[in-house]
Amino acid sequence: METRCHWLYTHPAWGRVMTKEPFTESDARSLLPDAERVIGTEVFVPTSARLGLAFASGLVRRDDGAMMQPESLPQR
């Protein structure tokens, strides 16, 4: 199981906002330089179900850190 939660961060246009999707701490810290955990939003996700993180560009980040199109991910 892995723990994900929502994070507060500073958006260039909108100021301090919260993420729409929960992220792991390592992903949040690497993507959002001033990430601050929102207490009480923890979600537990089985690690085997994780294929990648989705971004607004439509790309996903694989577990090894590579960015790619979602249809390129292996089907389980």
Predicted structure pTM score:
0.58
What's the pLDDT at 49? 47
Cβ-contact 15, 23 below 8 angstroms = no
Q: Clarify whether residues 2 and 32 are in a common domain.
A: yes
Alpha helices, DSSP H, located in 22-66: 25-31
C-alpha 56: how far from chain center: 11
Mean pLDDT by 10 residues, the chain (76 residues): 91 92 91 92 73 56 66 54
Per the structure, the count of domains in the chain is 2
C-alpha 54: how far from chain center: 7
Q: Clarify whether residues 73 and 41 are in a common domain.
A: no
Cβ-contact 49, 33 below 8 angstroms = no
Q: Clarify whether residues 4 and 40 are in a common domain.
A: yes
Cβ-contact 45, 23 below 8 angstroms = no
What's the pLDDT at 22? 92
